[in-house]
A and B are shown apart, each in its own frame.
Chain A
Amino acid sequence: MAVKVQIPAPLRSLTGGQSEVEVDASDVSGLIDRLDSRHRGLKERLCDADGNLRSYVRIFVNDEDVRFLKEKATPLKTGDTVAIVPAIAGGRG
């Protein structure tokens, strides 16, 4: 499933400056793993030691917050757009 992922400015140092990347994943959890295998260190920024999404990171699938869906188990399909958004307004990458 090819999914577009929008990368926030603070994480672009890990994606070689790219603001959007495309990965194959069938759910959000898999997407994070795939992102991390290509851009090492990304998972650590998004998830805590227990694997839960950090409280200050929001992930949206087609403009819907995954906390309203199935969180990391939220399914993905080809053509979906995923946005990773810091929950606060400050800072930058």
Chain B
Amino acid sequence: MSLTLSPSPVLASILEAIGHTPLVRLRLPGVPQRVELWGKCEWFNPGGSVKDRAALSIVEEGERRGALRPGRTIIDSSSGNTAVGLALVGRAKGYPVELVMPRSVGEERLRLCRAYGARIVFTDALSGSDGAIVKAREMVSAEPDRYFYADQYRNPANVLAHYRTTGPEIWDQTGGRVTHFVGGLGTSGTVVGVSRFLRERNPRVRVVAAEPDHALHGLEGLKHMASALVPEIYDPQAHDEKLAVVTEDAYAVCEETLRADGLLVGHSAGAALWAAREVARTLGSGTVVALLPDGGERYLSARETSRGGRGGPQGPPSSESERGIHSRASA
């Protein structure tokens, strides 16, 4: 391996840096020799996650339709990454952004959103992301002329982002050799959009969705569909198979890929990789692509916590702000 000089992009706006993420060959233990496992590294997006794609697509579709125009405020509920994506896109385009989040949102994402200048509205941690969805809908109903509601769970522009960019990138980067695509289910936009594109190109491509094994889980960004408010953009036909991932198994794969590949990935990426390896194990040969939504730097406080001073998974929190569930004020 050597350092090679490839053309460096020259861009008119940071928003043009969204997409075109690297596809990296992985050497995760347990994958059969004749199966190629690749990771689509979405933390290379400027906002640090796959959600930049949906955020940009939703905002630009809104502008095209006239629903988003100067003077309006972008609003959505998000457990984190979409919030950062919208905060970034809103800031770059000059729109105010308001984000509705459960009080349990990760520190790193919260700080990022504030750094981009977004206003945060907190909802009850006990109600999770669905509680934030309900609150965002109430706010939009109360002042419909003030807001542009991004509505990532219902907005077809979310799916379109992946149909137009993520899917074609995977197709091109594998030279059309992709046999399996594996992605986690959250809003489901990634799986639905990528699936539609890849199946158009090759109907034999198998699409596998990963979801948490239970409603109570530790996989940020993923939804347990059977118990969640099911996103309207979700199409159960988009995947051939759905695998239930145990949270601790996903965390363990994050450590494995760090050791084997030098990749520091987020927990939902761990879930996708766990599922991708399960798929790979059933194959004699193939090209499996796993979508890795974000990097592990967004989970460092949780990571430190889980390796905390008392050595066990229940070690002490790493920051003072984690102490109380009611201690955060709206900003």
Tell me, in angstroms, the Cα distance from A71 to B312 when the chains sit together.
11
Q: Is the CB of B215 within 8 A of A67?
A: no
Cβ distance A23 to chain B, nearest Cβ, rounded Å: 17
Contact flags A50-82 to B (C-beta < 8 A → 1, else 0): 001111111010011101100100000000000
Tell me, in angstroms, the Cα distance from A57 to B306 when the chains sit together.
11
Cβ distance A62 to chain B, nearest Cβ, rounded Å: 9
Contact of B325 among A19, A53, A63, A91 (CB under 8 A): A63
**A86-B218, A90-B220, A91-B215 are contacts. A48–B248 as well, Cβ < 8 Å?**
yes
**A55-B218, A55-B313, A64-B323 are contacts. A92–B126 as well, Cβ < 8 Å?**
no
Kindly identify, within residues 67 to 103 of chain B, every residue whose CB is under 8 Å from any CB belonging to chain A.
79-80, 101-102
Cβ distance B300 to chain A, nearest Cβ, rounded Å: 14
B327 interfacial contact with A, CB 8 Å: yes
B305 interfacial contact with A, CB 8 Å: yes
Tell me, in angstroms, the Cα distance from A8 to B127 when the chains sit together.
6
Cβ distance A83 to chain B, nearest Cβ, rounded Å: 6
Kindly identify, within residues 94 to 136 of chain B, every residue whose CB is under 8 Å from any CB belonging to chain A.
101-102, 104-106, 125-132
The total of chain A residues at the interface (CB under 8 A) is: 34
A32 interfacial contact with B, CB 8 Å: no
Q: Is the interface of A mostly helix, strand, loop or mixed?
A: loop
Tell me, in angstroms, the Cα distance from A9 to B312 when the chains sit together.
26
Output the nearest chain A residue to B267 by Cβ-Cβ distance. A88
Residues of A within 8 A of B222 (CB): 90-91
Identify which of B41-49, B188-196, B223-231, B254-262 touches chain A: B223-231
Q: Is the CB of B313 within 8 A of A53?
A: yes
Tell me, in angstroms, the Cα distance from A32 to B112 when the chains sit together.
36
Q: Is the CB of B126 within 8 A of A9?
A: yes
Output the nearest chain B residue to A20 by Cβ-Cβ distance. B126
A26 interfacial contact with B, CB 8 Å: no
**A9-B127, A88-B104 are contacts. A67–B219 as well, Cβ < 8 Å?**
no
Kindly identify, within residues 198 to 246 of chain B, every residue whose CB is under 8 Å from any CB belonging to chain A.
212, 214-224, 227-229
Residues of A within 8 A of B220 (CB): 88-90
Residues of B within 8 A of A90 (CB): 79-80, 128-129, 186, 219-223
A17 interfacial contact with B, CB 8 Å: no
Output the nearest chain B residue to A7 by Cβ-Cβ distance. B126
Cβ distance B264 to chain A, nearest Cβ, rounded Å: 18
Q: Is the CB of B316 within 8 A of A67?
A: yes
Cβ distance B126 to chain A, nearest Cβ, rounded Å: 5
Residues of A within 8 A of B215 (CB): 9-11, 13, 91-93
Q: Is the CB of A65 within 8 A of B317?
A: yes
Residues of B within 8 A of A13 (CB): 215, 227
B324 interfacial contact with A, CB 8 Å: yes
Q: Is the CB of B130 within 8 A of A9?
A: yes
Residues of A within 8 A of B285 (CB): none
Tell me, in angstroms, the Cα distance from A82 to B308 when the chains sit together.
23
Residues of A within 8 A of B323 (CB): 64-65, 68
A45 interfacial contact with B, CB 8 Å: yes
Output the nearest chain B residue to A59 by Cβ-Cβ distance. B314
Taking A65-B322, A89-B104 as known contacts, 4 extra A-B pairs with beta carbons closer than 8 A to each other, sorted by chain A number, are A54-B313, A88-B219, A89-B132, A91-B215
